[in-house]
Amino acid sequence: MSTSELPARPSLEYLRKLAKDRLADLRRTNADVQLATALLTIAQEHGFSSWRALKAEIDHRLASDVEQFFRACKQGDVASVGASLRDDPALVHARDRHHATGLYFAATAGHRETVIALLDAGADVQVEDDIHELGILGWMTFFPQLDEINLDVLRLLVERGARHHIFSAIALGDPDLIRTLVEQQPEVLDRRMSQLDHRQTALHFAITRGRHDLLDLLIALGADIDAEDGNGQTSLEYAMLRGDQRATERLVAAGARAARIRPVRNVSETKAAIAGAVRTGVPILRARDIAAALRWYVSLGFHEVGRYPEDGTALFWGMVSLGRAEVMFEPGDPGTNGITLLFVTDAIKELYEFVTSRQLRAASVTVAVSHDATSGAEVVENLHEPVFGGLQFSVRDPNGYVLRFLQEAQAVRS
């Protein structure tokens, strides 16, 4: 139906108030009239068949406004950001699916003028309840490469009240900042990353970043060397699983407890069970624009199997099929990182335990390291729940290719 009678930026609250006023008028002649009748009357007066249809249209328009605002923040379009905030000042506090505000994205991309506009509009620099629990400085330092961090914007945010934490200091690679934070608040060494980031400690994160100098510093400052992350792995076990011999040697020298290796009683039977649980294998290709890639493949006769999220914007992945063959896409530069191979399995936990036990045994510092099939391999992604559900983990083979193992959400529940 026509929505021409709705204003450009309709207010659902205002329309509800109209419905309540209308209800009072209707009850003057019929005391039994319910609010639902008044809501229907207001919806029909604006060209809709039901209140639900009216609400859906308003929600769609508001969602479009928010998406446009976030897009402008990410692109540094300060004029569009300013116009959106003039129309709706509350957008400065709006959150996206990552529970992050527009300031997070503008700052991470280094758009100084847009950051200033958001700060002047009341953006909060101290909020830290985003999905990664890192805060604005955490996002600025965690996601870009070190040489891509806009230090000018970083200083601006600190001047406006943003505060560093142990993970932003490690991401910056700043030993003096780490020392200052620990001197001011020794408990910063106990801070953990989010569940999404496996509850890593400062030691785990230093290993993730490959900063052995900062690993030494954190140990010297008193970080708990045997603290476990969300996967129950100590920093030593984490280093061994990643094939990080330098970190392993440092942690052993510092007195880390020996890695716990679960025995595999019958390797042949375990391998057979694991092989029998794998249902399919899919190559994953990098794509600069997943939606565009899906359109191109569909134009050739492929069938789109799925995408996430389903609304078609900022896709995390997409998949197409041709006959029995399937290809998946994820964001990235097609010229880097090679190809990832995805294996869908019904026994993800058993497979993870087998792979990690084997890797720990091969990397154990108590035996000589031989150049066998495990040499150069590493666990690059611990077992976790991805944003689209299920459970997955990834390993890198000695040639540099990533093997990703996934148990889909339905199979995990069952």
Q: Is residue 132 part of a domain?
A: yes
Average pLDDT of 42-57?
A: 85
The beta-carbon contacts of 90-98 under 8 Å, at least 24 apart in sequence, are: 91/65, 91/66, 92/118, 92/121, 92/122, 92/123, 93/122, 93/123, 93/124, 94/66, 94/69, 94/70, 96/66, 96/70, 97/309, 98/130, 98/131, 98/132
CA 45 – CA 66 distance, rounded (Å): 27
For the CA atoms of 211, 212, 215, 216, the dihedral, rounded to the nearest 10 degrees, stands at: -140
pLDDT for the residue numbered 265: 73
Residue 114 lies in a domain: yes
Number of domains in the chain: 3
- What is the C-alpha to C-alpha distance for residues 136 and 107, in angstroms, rounded to an integer? 8
Instruction: Kindly report the number of other CB atoms within 10 A of residue 35's CB atom.
Output: 14
pTM: 0.75
State the pLDDT at residue 313.
60
- Pick from 6-20, 41-55, 219-233: least confident: 6-20
Q: Are residues 235 and 318 in the same domain?
A: no
Residue 57: per-residue pLDDT: 77
Residue 101: pLDDT band (50, 70, 90) is very high
| Same domain? 398 vs 272 | yes
> Are residues 215 and 296 part of one domain?
no
Which band of pLDDT confidence, cut at 50, 70 and 90, is reported for residue 372? Answer: very low
Mapped onto helix, strand or coil, the DSSP state of residue 253 is helix
The DSSP H or E segment spanning 318 is strand 317-322
Query: What's the confidence (pLDDT) of residue 61?
Result: 66
The pLDDT tens digits of the residues spanning 282-335 come to: 999 999 889 899 999 998 889 999 998 776 566 889 999 999 899 999 988 887
Q: Are 300 and 372 in a shared domain?
A: yes
> Structural domain of residue 124, as residue ranges?
63-163
Residues 211 and 155 in one domain: no
- Give the model's pLDDT for residue 274: 87
Please tell me the predicted confidence (pLDDT) of residue 168.
96
The residue from 163, 181, 205 where one domain ends is 163
Rounded CA gap, 144 and 110, in Å?
Answer: 10
Q: Is 97 exposed, middle or buried (0-12, 13-18, 19+ CB in 10 A)?
A: exposed
Q: Is 261 or 10 the better-scoring residue by pLDDT?
A: 261
**Coil, helix or strand for 211?**
coil
Q: What is the pLDDT of residue 199?
A: 94
Residue 1 confidence (pLDDT) = 39
Mean pLDDT of the chain: 87
**DSSP string covering 321-379:** EETTEEEEEEES-TTSS--EEEEEES-HHHHHHHHHHHHHHHH-TTSPPP-STTTT-EE
The domain that holds 246 is classified in CATH as 1.25.40.20
Same domain, 359 and 236: no
What mean pLDDT do residues 202-209 have? 97
